[in-house]
Chains A and B, each alone.
Chain A
Amino acid sequence: MAIGKRPVVVPISNVNITKGLKPQTMSTSKRPISPYMLGPYYKFQITSALSILNRLTGVFMSVVTAPLLLCWLIALASGEGKYNALSAWLGSGLGKLVIAASVFSFSFHLFGGIRHLIWDAGWMMEMPQVKASGWLAVIGSVLLSLIVLGAGL
């Protein structure tokens, strides 16, 4: 057994025949127990990064964007006072940040979803194509976000 360049001798008393190394001999290395795809342990790959981002944007829209759209409809149906209060909040710094994050999440999830639908049809599944469509999704979602935010401001 070797950690780094230095060979490490494991005393025979620390080795359990059926379970391998005893836990205390493993405590020096804080390695992940499974391919943990965040942080420095795992090489950056456009595929895994976009997969995680697709899920994150989906959760963000579930928790923030969809309830915000619902609030907009409720406020509009509740009358001018409620609507003006929501409009004022949306015009504040935090409101603008929420809108920008929502527009980006929507755009990214849109392109991510289109990629999934293309794969479901059995197309573009070779690795170079998957990587290319991933970068296209990144560029496309940034551009769409900028266009929508630019047009709305």
Chain B
Amino acid sequence: MSMQNPLARVRGKGSSGGGVHHWRSQRYSSLVLLLTTAWLLWLGVSLAGADYATASAAMSSPVNAGMAILMAGAIFYHTQLGLQVVIEDYVHIAALEFALLIFVRFACLIAFLISAIAALKLVVGA
């Protein structure tokens, strides 16, 4: 039974009903990031100050390319979920909130696509 006024429901007030999915998605993506953290730190330390030849040779490895794509997916998904909560908490102008939520979704999706294409280009050696 809904305690909500039908008009409020039409206006989109109240719970979206997607909280549990959001919560679980944030945890699952955090687990992926937790497991891939060691790889990112190792890559960052080993390629700190590296020249172009060294860095492109490292990223031509299929293992590094796969890890980069996996991690980019987890990073930008987790980023989208986290920024969504911050926007929902602090932006109270409905139109601006909606615009920012859509922008963050598209920006994170595009960032993941570009990461994946760049990593693939590096491994194929185009």
Contact = CB atoms under 8 A, between A and B. Distances in A.
Given A73-B114, A114-B34, A152-B45, 7 more contacts: A66-B76, A69-B75, A84-B52, A87-B51, A110-B37, A117-B30, A117-B34
Sort chain A's interface into a size bin. 20 to 34
Contacts of A59: 82-83, 86
B111 A74 contact: no
Given A66-B75, A66-B79, A73 B118 contact: yes
Given A66-B75, A148-B41, A76 B30 contact: no
Nearest to A91: B49
A73 B68 contact: yes
Interface of B: 27, 30-31, 33-34, 37, 41, 44-45, 48-49, 51-52, 55-56, 59, 68, 72, 75-76, 79, 82-83, 86, 111, 114-115, 117-119, 121-122
Contact of B122 (A55, A67, A77, A113): A77
Contact of B86 (A55, A67, A80, A152): A55
Main secondary structure of the interface of A (DSSP, over half): helix
Contacts of A152: 44-45, 48-49
A66 B52 contact: no
A76 B55 contact: yes
Contacts of A117: 27, 30-31, 34
A73 B82 contact: no
A153 to B, nearest CB: 7
Rank and list the top 3 A-B pairs by shortest CB-CB distance, nearest first.
Answer: A152-B48, A77-B118, A73-B118
6 contacts: A58-B86, A66-B111, A76-B59, A77-B118, A83-B52, A152-B45
Contact of A62 (B27, B34, B72, B79): B79
Nearest to A113: B30
Contacts of B48: 152-153
A151 interface: yes
A120 B72 CA distance: 25
Nearest to B68: A73
A35 B114 CA distance: 43
Contacts of A127: none
B27 A70 contact: no
A62 B49 contact: no
